[in-house]
Amino acid sequence: MVEAEIIKLEKKMVVRKVESRDLEQIIALQKLCFPDLEPWRIEQLQSHLDVFPDGQICAEYDGAIIGSSSSLILNYDEYYNKNNWDEITDKGYITNHNPEGDNLYGIEVMVHPDFRDMKIGQRLYDARKALAERLNLRSILIGTKIPNYVKYAEEMTPAKYVQEVMAQNIYDPNLTFQLNNGFVIKQIVKKYATADKSVPEYSTITEWNNIEYQHVAKHLYKTAFPVRICVIQYMMKKIDSFEEFIQQCEYYIDVAHNYKSDFVVFPEIFTAQLLSFLEMETPSLSAKKLATFTEPYVAAMLSFAVKYNVNIIGGSHYAEENGKVYNIAYLFRRDGTYEKQYKIHVTPNEKHLWQISSGDELKVFSTDCGKIAILICYDIDFPELARLVTDRGANIIFTPFNTDERQGYMRVRYCAQARAVENQVYTVIAGTVGNLTHVEHLDIQYAQSAIFTPSDFSFPRDGIMAECTPNIEMVIVGDVDLELLKRTRKSGTVTQLKSRRTDLYAIKEMT
């Protein structure tokens, strides 16, 4: 055989970090390896890459993903008495990953059935060990089912079964493999992964100790993670130009900067103030006029975010895309990047008068102050949305709103407070006040903007961090503590997120 023909037969094996382009293949691999389990969702795997990319490893052979492993870092002592897969992985999103932790925790390893004689699992375990050594982690921990115990459950206890496997009198595909890789039994747990009904409810926690580990003094807990929020209760009044509008925006952003804010929050469709110097037509045509300002509005806000070193929740703005007009909230990060959240539920008034189209994608955004979400006005009325973004790691939900009278405002306020309580998150509402006498259907405004907290002893008595005086132009500034939120979710007077009866009900995203 000539050399060229030999080269054509070569197939390259690579163990590398997972990339976004691999996610569909990983989901297909999981369906093949674990047909009885609900597979990963794209947003969960993407969260792994966003939170801890180094811990996501795959084996690629001839261009195809034939094995993968997922990990996060934590302090296992925090989970010892609450040891289940959902708790340890934050329901599969690993947003509880702690870079200051001591333990690398493996949450999944899988190998394509057709390639299990190529030591793919061994390669993935070796890659994990190398990662633990490089990051100077004390150990690697893995929780795993012991599938062959079902054959012996009537004649021996789980502890006896584990002893027999350790003595090599019984073979267990999971536990035997781990013992052969230098892991030792740390704990036997019950109901570790309740979603897997195909094997007994008992699992083992095994540990591999990094003999090269060097102790370095660390703070295992942060005492606080304050995030400062500046909310703008914006006055809608007649202006004469786009430049005047931008000048007003910059004034408030400068105020937020002076108070060293991490976020400054504008209200829903506050850009409608631009209609006060334009010739008024039907609402739908006016919305299209507003959309013509999208590019200069985005450019100005993005430059302000960088100039004043503050993340801007840019209220919302009517923007036209592919012939449709959407109500879009913009996140302008202080690093010069931006993202969009489309309003998902448009009100009857928006739909029929302004001809606004509904968005179809719910997003959670990563920022330098953790994960946040934006639910525009009417969207906060739907508890499913807030629960979904909370499950995906959001700690703050921003709600820009625009209401014309008190009843509409109270709907927004009551729902935002309810979302803060039931999801143990912070919610922020920012509204417009004043009058636009030249703009039909947007002529009056009512608001009392506020920052809301969960309801527990660690937070303000009424669950209100700060609130504006109703119906006057002003700002409020308040600090929310993400570390306090984390502690309260684990050990508060009530723990709504942990206490949910997922055996009876659940909210699932449509795919």
Give me the CATH number covering residue 241: 3.60.110.10
Which residue of the set 58, 377, 415, 468 is catalytic?
377
| CA–CA gap between residue 162 and residue 186 (Å, rounded) | 11
**Contact present, 29 and 112 (Cβ < 8 Å):** yes
**How many other β-carbons are positioned within 10 Å of the β-carbon of residue 152?**
18
Note whether 164 and 99 are same-domain residues: yes
Q: Are residues 198 and 270 in the same domain?
A: no
Q: Tell me the C-alpha distance between 465 and 462, whole Å.
A: 8
Total of domains in the chain? 2
* From 343, 369, 371, 467, the catalytic residue: 343
Q: Which two tokens stand for residue 142?
A: 């893995």
249 by DSSP, 3-state: which?
helix
Residues 194, 232, single domain; the answer is no
**Does residue 507 fall inside a structural domain?**
no
| Full residue range of the structural domain in which residue 394 is found | 227-499
- Distance, CA of 334 to CA of 254 (rounded, Å): 13
Contact 140, 83 (CB under 8 A): no
Q: Is residue 141 part of a domain?
A: yes
- Could you state, in chain order, the average pLDDT of each consecutive group of 10 residues for the chain (511 residues)? 42 88 95 89 93 95 93 87 80 88 94 89 95 96 90 92 95 93 91 60 91 75 83 95 97 97 97 87 86 96 95 96 96 95 95 93 93 97 96 95 96 98 97 87 89 96 96 97 91 86 77 56
Do 185 and 316 fall within a single domain? Answer: no
Give which of 304, 299, 284 is closest to 441, Cα–Cα. Answer: 284
What pLDDT was estimated at residue 218?
58
- Going by their DSSP bridges, the two strands 103-111 and 64-74 should be labelled as antiparallel
Residue where one domain finishes, among candidates 158, 175, 209: 209
Question: Are the C-beta atoms of residues 447 and 468 closer than 8 Å to each other?
Answer: yes
The verdict on 205 and 232 lying in the same domain is no
In a domain, 220, yes or no: no
Whole-angstrom distance, CA of residue 301 vs CA of residue 291: 15
Write down the pLDDT at residue 71. Answer: 97
The residue among 209, 241, 259 that closes a domain is 209
- 179 and 296, same domain (yes or no): no
CB 186 within 8 A of CB 106: no
Residues 432 and 486 in one domain: yes
Closest by CA position to 359, among listed 405, 403, 321, 331: 321
Q: How far is it, in rounded angstroms, from Cα 387 to Cα 507?
A: 8
Residues 428/397, Cβ–Cβ less than 8 Å: yes
- For residue 218, which amino acid is it? K
Q: What is the DSSP letter of 195?
A: T
Q: What's the rounded Cα separation, in Å, for the pair 307 and 313?
A: 15
Q: Is residue 252 part of a domain?
A: yes
Q: Is residue 10 annotated as part of the catalytic site, yes or no?
A: no
For 339-371, b where at least 16 C-beta lie within 10 A, e where not — what string?
A: ebbbbbbbbeebeebbbbbebeebbbbbbebbb
Residue 243 lies in a domain: yes
Q: Between vectors from CA 319 to CA 313 and to CA 325, what angle results, nearest 5°?
A: 130
pLDDT the model gives residue 81: 67
DSSP string across 381-392? G-HHHHHHHHHT
| 354 and 272 co-located in one domain | yes
- The answer to whether 459 and 467 are in contact (CB under 8 A) is no
Classify residue 187: in a domain, yes or no. yes
Catalytic residue among 207, 268, 350, 467: 268
| Structure confidence at residue 3 (pLDDT) | 42
Cα 25 from Cα 192, distance rounded (Å): 26
Q: Say yes or no: 181 and 274 in one domain.
A: no
- CATH code of the domain covering residue 131: 3.40.630.30
**CA–CA distances in Å: residue 227 to residues 230, 309, 369, 478, 481:** 10, 14, 7, 8, 6
The residue among 177, 209, 241 that closes a domain is 209
Flag whether 6 is in a domain: no
Told to judge if 343 belongs to the known catalytic residues of this protein, a careful annotator would answer yes
DSSP letter at 220 equals S
Do 164 and 241 lie in one domain? The reply is no
Query: Is 65 in the same domain as 161?
Result: yes
Together in a domain, 204 and 235: no
Is 510 contained in some domain? no
